[in-house]
Amino acid sequence: MSVHLQKQIDKLKRQITAMGNLAEQSLLKAMVAVERRDAVVAEQVIAADGKVDQMELDVEEECLHTLALYQPVASDLRYVVSVLKINNDLERIADMASNIAQQAVFLASEPPVDPMPFDLVGMADRVRRMLARALEAMLNSDPELADTVRASDDEVDTIHRHMYERVEAAMRERPDRIPSFIHLMNISRQLERVADLATNIAEDVIYTARGKLVRHMHE
């Protein structure tokens, strides 16, 4: 690899890492807003979404510049292609965090839901761990760690499926709280999508490191 291409790869790594950190923080703050019923924190998450959008454009432009100017091959080409895909996934994760924050604004204006019909906190913790491991795997080019992210996705899917049954039962018992239950369902849906996106990131790490496409393959 030429010195100039290595510098460009290093720049891409710094950019995508910064974007990953921002998307992760947005998700963390969004769930804090939900759990603490804090509309102020929720509004901060919503306001920060535009920064991630701009970062996505900057990373995409840098990737296209790298492909056009340096014409990387083999592992370098796989890395740039993976950054392009991860860039999009991180922007979507930030969008999910903003959506969760919007649900949090509504829930903060309503009485607390007690008891919670499903393990929302446990689900959020699993998703946060998946995203953190996916970003760590990306930073360190660690396909073994990425494998653990893929293996965790089924746990989140199971919680999400069971959520519908429990929320429907809660709606029948407490029809006066239906709007709050609908917002909780929406949060669960967003978390399930974040888990899918974290899995996508992990699969791109595996592709970069091993040259193997594992997306759509059963774990």
121 in any annotated domain? yes
pLDDT exceeds 90 at position 215: no
The Cα–Cα gap between 129 and 191 comes to: 12
Q: What is the pLDDT of residue 217?
A: 66
- What percentage of residues in the chain have a pLDDT greater than 70? 98
Structural domains counted in the chain? 1
217 in any annotated domain? no
216 in any annotated domain? no
137 in any annotated domain? yes
**Structure token pair of residue 150:** 């893929």
**Dihedral in degrees, nearest 10, Cα atoms 30, 31, 36, 41:** -10
Chain segment 31-73, per-residue pLDDT in tens: 999 999 999 999 999 999 999 999 999 999 999 999 999 999 9
Residue 115 structural domain:
3-210
CA 116 to chain centroid, in Å, comes to 24
pLDDT band at 216 (very low <50, low <70, confident <90, very high): low
Q: List all residues 6 or more positions away from 24 whose beta carbon is below 8 Å from its beta carbon.
A: 93, 128, 131, 132, 135
Global pTM reads 0.94
169 in any annotated domain? yes
The domain that contains 63 carries what CATH number? Answer: 1.20.58.220
How many Å from the N-terminal Cα to the C-terminal Cα in the chain?
34
Mean predicted confidence (pLDDT) in 116-141 = 95
pLDDT exceeds 90 at position 167: yes
pLDDT exceeds 60 at position 219: no
43 in any annotated domain? yes
Mean predicted confidence (pLDDT) in 201-214 = 92
106 in any annotated domain? yes
132 in any annotated domain? yes
